[in-house]
Amino acid sequence: MADEEDELQETELSYDQKKEIAKWFLLNAPAGEINYVAKDLKEVLSDEEVYNEAAMEAFPVYNKSHMICLEMPSRAGDVIVSSYSEVTENEYIDPRTAQVAIVDHVKQICTKVRPAYDEELPSSYIEEFRSALDAEIQRYVSESYPKGVSTVNCVKGKDADGPGSDFELVVIITARKLSPQNFCNGSWRSVWHIDFQDESQVLDIKGKVQVGAHYFEEGNVELDAKKEFQDSTIFQSADDCAIAIANTIRHHETEYLAAIEVAYSKLPDNTFKDLRRKLPVTRTLFPWQNTLQFSLTREVEKELGLGGK
């Protein structure tokens, strides 16, 4: 029996097993914390080759899923790294400035930019709708997300040169508030697909919102809330479509945030009590009447800068 235990203790993980475990930790890092995880992984692994390969595979996936925003050189603008803006593995287009950013995923920086090629940009007909919607979304984000950025990409039918064709635009809104010195980080991500159907003169609107927050002062509490939406409006002029779409997005996101506020305001009286015995082994009652001082709702609003919604 002792020999079997010694054999188990001496079993070494394979190269691939170490890499996959490292990737799992990197990919599951909360918003804004992957570099902290990476630093600890380097020390634990003590294997530069394993870490480098895991990082090269994990960082691009993490950056796109978290839709990080990077500043382009010479203050040329910002680019949101996402699968919707991806041109090649390390190139991401910013349609607002008609530039393509070359990104170093592991360092999470934009190393240089180049002008977008004509084939990478939507036609003038599509651009009229895209730019009008981009302006309305920018206005909404500036009013509702002090830490927010947005972009609008054409992901289907960008070559359409006039009425009679279907196309699809994607709205991305992302906001992060990173405050590791206060043991709290938060993020808001929303993606809205707008399918312009010329024949039916209808716009199908599908959205997905994800809110994350991580609190790690003397503990580890993580919020990961998701919600999907579906709506529609009529196909109108570019300016009218932009206003209708932006109002629809504003309506659903405002309602969702209100629902989160209600849900988490009930934590002290409902959820927290259900997670703990009323009279634990210490024979001392937990002070539920004071749990509002630990309000997740208030802290999420504070860290994400969403109080104005």
Is the pLDDT higher at 233 or at 5? 233
Reply yes or no on whether the pLDDT at 242 is more than 80. yes
Residue 219: what pLDDT?
76
The 10s digit of each residue's pLDDT in 71-81 is 999 777 899 99
Sheet containing 86-88: order of strands: 86-88, 91-94, 99-104, 109-115
Q: 């400035």: which residue's tokens?
A: 97
State the CATH architecture for 69-118.
2-Layer Sandwich (3.30)
Q: 């190139």: which residue's tokens?
A: 91
Question: Residue range 75-92: average pLDDT?
Answer: 93
The 10s digit of each residue's pLDDT in 192-239 is 999 999 889 999 999 999 998 888 877 788 888 899 999 999 999 999
Confidence of residue 255 (pLDDT cuts 50, 70, 90): very high
**Is there a contact between 50 and 22 (Cβ–Cβ < 8 Å)?**
yes
**Is there a contact between 150 and 136 (Cβ–Cβ < 8 Å)?**
no
CATH superfamily of this structure's domain 12-65: F-actin capping protein, alpha subunit (3.30.1140.60)
Is the pLDDT higher at 162 or at 137? 137
pTM exceeds 0.95, yes or no: no
**Is there a contact between 249 and 137 (Cβ–Cβ < 8 Å)?**
yes
The 10s digit of each residue's pLDDT in 153-196 is 999 999 998 888 899 999 999 999 888 888 889 899 999 999 99
According to CATH, what is the number of the domain 122-260? 3.90.1150.210
Please tell me if the domain spanning 12-65 has the same topology as the one spanning 69-118. yes
**Is there a contact between 288 and 272 (Cβ–Cβ < 8 Å)?**
yes
